């Protein structure tokens, strides 16, 4: 028997960083992401979003590739949002995403951070946060796919 625990903190923004996730949409979207992920065997531990981006903490299974998990969450959720007709405009996510491995000991801190997004972004903008993530992890801000 194999034992695997690979925690990943994911983050991505809405298409063109449009601030279109209102409180009603947010509740529907987060519930759907968790239910859909569960149906696909993806373990979403914690998820939260604000108007223009989302944070997801997942634990990968032994047969799961990170890129496929992200594709299944992002692609299906944007398709579902457009099928609901809950928004007048088309809903979509930006192509790129941010992923950071999380040690088991840091999982509680990441959960709290994700749950506290509204308060966190009263103090720090998404753009500042994105730059800090990239600098902390050695990404060049001009890397293809990571541009604003």
Please provide residue 40's backbone torsions phi and psi, each rounded to the nearest 5 degrees: -100, 5
Q: Across residues 51-76, what is the average pLDDT?
A: 96
pLDDT at 142: 57
Length of the chain: 148
Cβ-based burial of 81 (10 A; exposed 0-12, middle 13-18, buried ≥19): buried
Which band of pLDDT confidence, cut at 50, 70 and 90, is reported for residue 66? very high
Domains and CATH numbers, the chain: 6-136 (3.30.70.1290)
Is the pTM higher than 0.95? The answer reads no
Of the pLDDT bands very low, low, confident and very high (cuts 50, 70, 90), residue 145 is very low
Residues 52-63: pLDDT tens digits?
999 999 999 999
- Other beta carbons within 10 angstroms of residue 2's beta carbon come to 4
Query: Tell me: the pLDDT tens digits for 93-132?
Result: 999 998 999 999 999 999 999 999 888 777 877 778 778 7
pLDDT band for 141, please (50, 70, 90 cuts).
low
Average pLDDT over residues 75-103: 93
């Amino acid at each position: 028997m194999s034992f695997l625990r690979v925690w990943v903190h994911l983050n991505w923004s809405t298409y063109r960083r449009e601030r279109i996730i209102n409180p009603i949409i947010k509740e529907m979207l987060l519930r759907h992401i968790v239910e859909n992920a569960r149906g696909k065997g993806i373990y979403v531990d914690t998820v939260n979003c604000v108007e223009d981006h989302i944070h997801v903490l997942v634990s990968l299974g032994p047969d799961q590739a990170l890129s496929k998990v992200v594709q299944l969450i992002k692609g299906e959720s944007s398709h579902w949002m457009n099928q609901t007709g809950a928004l007048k405009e088309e809903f979509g996510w930006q192509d790129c995403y941010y992923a950071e491995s999380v040690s088991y000991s840091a999982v509680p801190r990441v959960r709290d951070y994700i749950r506290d997004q509204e308060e966190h972004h009263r103090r720090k903008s998404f753009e500042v946060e994105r730059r800090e993530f990239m600098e902390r992890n050695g990404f060049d801000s001009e890397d293809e796919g990571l541009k604003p």
